Structure 1
């Protein structure tokens, strides 16, 4: 779920901006990302963003060369937020395969690690742009490769590791897209069963307790 971004000038904890500058480059990116998620890439327009932030259009060019430069920055942010985070969680140290998969589940529980709404917005964008489609294909392949290597580290043969990786990855994408109306308690109740399906192994009580504690901090309950 997208939340309206807080502009630098409206954040009481932020350092004051110098001179006549009213917004930062990050403000432009955050508002553009919000529009991308809620309205689609066609609505990411410089004038509309400037009006939304109550600043002049000319200030956009302090930070970006063009609208295309802004769109490229959005794609870079998406890759750094979602793909990099998922790969990092798949590569994180874990004693068991179930603990490793729970590390990946951190991306689901914490929007700061993986922005699901942004991922869907980029997928919608890819239907209209061959360039973005190519980036998305490479990103999907990189994520699946990381998950495949994760399963292989715990003894899965090559084809089984790839199959389990794809089942985990594409099931999660479809699950998030369906947006099931489930409570936090129900999700936690189902977690050990999902782990058994994905890995063929029963998780330990300690692993489940650690994951439950993590979700309490990050899930929008």
Structure 2
């Protein structure tokens, strides 16, 4: 048993500690991250931690950067993969947001809560949120909106997303899908999705399997 634990400790790298800290942050907030608790979670020694990090703050900075990449890159990749068509970019954005296969809204919530007590976390949060709004602004530019119209639609889209996540609105996944056409109408002025009458049709549209052009 001791040999097994020693082997596990030797195999740990920075990503293991970051993953454990991410889990603790999401589940218990920043107070849930302590060296002792992380070591227990990983069945490791505190000495194993110091092979990877100089101190706990170094790990916390890695968690901030992990969030910045993990919860933003999926949107960037989806939008870029959609090509130059603004409507396809918007649908790609919504797909990542709704399906939550790569984006974790609880991670966003945990970072925002942490930012209340950490100036450095607040700084990273501001930078990433500014980037996300700018990204959405480019989507609305591609949809044909210009100037302040594109900016305000980007802000409203992002603010509604963050508010939705923070409030943890109670609705079934099917209900959420059925609401998407109405959000799209308000945010983009397009009524295309209102032709869809069931959650399965909306899912197919977002997945690109609807056969519609």
Mapping 1:48-63, distance limit 5 Å: 48-63=37-52
**Does 1:178 find its partner at 2:167?**
yes
1:89 — aligned with what? 78
Higher helix content, 1 or 2 = 2
SS for the counterpart of 1:141 is: helix
Larger RCO: 1 or 2 (CA < 8 Å, sep 6+)? 1
**Contact 2:86–2:141 (CA under 8 A) maintained in structure 1:** no
1:134 — aligned with what? 123
Q: Distance in 2 between matches of 1:22 and 1:190?
A: 46
**Does 1:106 find its partner at 2:95?**
yes
1:217 — aligned with what? none
1:210 — aligned with what? 205
Deviation at 1:95, TM superposition (A): 6.7
Higher mean displacement: 41-50 or 105-114: 105-114
**Contact 1:97–1:151 (CA under 8 A) maintained in structure 2:** yes
What RMSD in Å do the two structures reach over aligned CA positions? 2.6
Q: Distance in 1 between matches of 2:146 and 2:154?
A: 12
1:70 — aligned with what? 59
1:218 — aligned with what? none
Mapping 1:4-19, distance limit 5 Å: none
SS for the counterpart of 1:114 is: coil
Q: Distance in 2 between matches of 1:131 and 1:155?
A: 37
Higher mean displacement: 42-51 or 202-211: 202-211
2:25 — aligned with what? 36
Deviation at 1:94, TM superposition (A): 4.8
Deviation at 1:30, TM superposition (A): 1.1
Q: Cα deviation per residue 1:159-192 (whole Å; 9 max; x = unaligned)?
A: 1000110111110110111112211221221111
Q: Cα deviation per residue 1:105-158 (whole Å; 9 max; x = unaligned)?
A: 122234343221111111111111112111111111111011101111221021
